[in-house]
Each structure stands twice: as C-alpha cells, then as structure tokens.
A and B are shown apart, each in its own frame.
Chain A
C-alpha cells in the first residue's frame, strides 16, 4: 500500500540552527500539507501546497518557515532559525485532491535544545 514517508524520524537541533524536514508524498497525489503537534496538544495545520505554490498557510507559518517541492517527489519544510517552541512532532500529509482523504506520514519529532 502506498504511504507517505518522512525523514528523519527524530531530529535534535540547537536553537538558531536551520532544519529541513523531508517528506515523500504518495506519487499520484497533488496536494501536500504540513501539520504540527506540540507534545500533548492537538494537531495544527501549518501549510498546504498545490501546483508548486502555497495555497494556504496558518498564522503559525511565519517567515521562519518555508516549503518547497525541489524535485517532483520530495516535499520539504524548512525552519530557518529554530526556537525552543518549535519543538514538536511535524506531520506531512498528501491527498489526491477532490476527496479530502489525507494520508499522513509517521511524523518527524523535532527537538530544539
């Protein structure tokens, strides 16, 4: 069964460093998403991406965040200068589009120290 793959599963970084979280969506999907879950809290929408551009972003997704699809298969989330409060589980999701069945990756746990 096709699945969304995220790497790494866990990343530890120092405050102020840049991190890139990687995702390989399901191959025929057209819509891509990043969500964030701070430990013990709900899953929150960060950004959606369609047709090589951001289609919607939340207020959490400020100038420190960026997304891109560099090569037609990977979908990345970059945090330019990490803060302690960026520590969270980051989930990538993808969907075909017309039906909102979002398939989630297993998540990347980001720890900022």
Chain B
C-alpha cells in the first residue's frame, strides 16, 4: 500500500513569491492534515480536513495561506506571498477512523526555504 505522497520534496523561493505544495493521502483515508514543522521542533497543525470540509483551520494564517481539498482526496496548500519566516518543513498526514485508533500517517514533507 502506498503511503502519503507529497511534492515537491524541496522548494527554494525568494520572499514575496507564491508557492504551492501537493499531498495525496493514503487511499480511503478521509481525514487529511497539514502541519508546519520548524527545525528540531514538533509539528504544528495548520488545517484538518474531514473529506472535503475544513473542520479545523484555526491555526492557518489566512492572510497568506490557503488550502483546498476539492474532491476529498488530494489537497494543496498555498502560500502567497511567502515570507522569510515561512521557511520550514510542511508535512501532510492522513488518517481513518475505521482502524479504531488515532494514528496519523505522515508523508516525507516539503522543505521550503524562503530567501
């Protein structure tokens, strides 16, 4: 079974430029998460989707960040315009309630560097 797929793996941009990240969750997982992780720190939730509905976006900086999961499968996270402080690893994770546990399966992340 394929895991969570993310692309690109690395992205280097100049400040004020836009950037987008893509995530394809594990097949059948209805819950999708976007996290931001700074170096040597724990992940911080940005947004959580149940199918196509964003059920928790309280930590998403809405002035510059946006996300979508139009068909309830894959998702994109966009930053426009990017700032120096946005440099981090952006992790996507997915989960399903059918397993009975709250295990989240993470992708390898996209490492963003804003110059």
Co-assembled chains A and B: no
